[in-house]
Amino acid sequence: MNTKSNRTSSRVNGNQWKTLREKVGLTQRDVSDQLGYSTPQFISNVERGRCRFPVQKLPRIKKLYRLSTDQVLELFLSEEKVSLLRVFKRSNKLN
């Protein structure tokens, strides 16, 4: 997977989080307040694929977004896969 592909995958997952948030009628501010963030910037960053939700926040996100455990796992693991592929790609360049 190339770097452009990795960025695209991150954005796709971010867009999924945004779609799911909007589907339940929440704003970025609503989510940030519920997760204990002082501003909605972190939620924006997640939705743009710049970062991921911390693992410890996933149970709360599941409830807020009205998702099944399988849905949360699928989204989170697909994000983790992209991250791990980056690590292996960098490792291959060093060898």
As given in the structure block, the two tokens for residue 68 are 């099944």
Half-sphere exposure of 17 (CA within 13 A, CB side): 29
pLDDT digits over 55-78, tens only?
999 999 999 999 999 999 999 888
The pTM for the full model equals 0.78
The CA distance from 21 to 79, in Å, is: 17
**How far separated are the first and last CA of the chain, in Å rounded?**
18
Q: Which residues contact 75 (CB under 8 A, 6 or more apart)?
A: 13, 16, 17
Tokens 């807020």 sit on residue: 64
Q: What whole-number percentage of the chain has pLDDT above 70?
A: 86
Half-sphere exposure of 60 (CA within 13 A, CB side): 12
Q: Domains of the chain by range and CATH? A: 3-94 (1.10.260.40)
Judge whether residue 86 has pLDDT over 90.
no
The pLDDT assigned to 1 comes to: 44
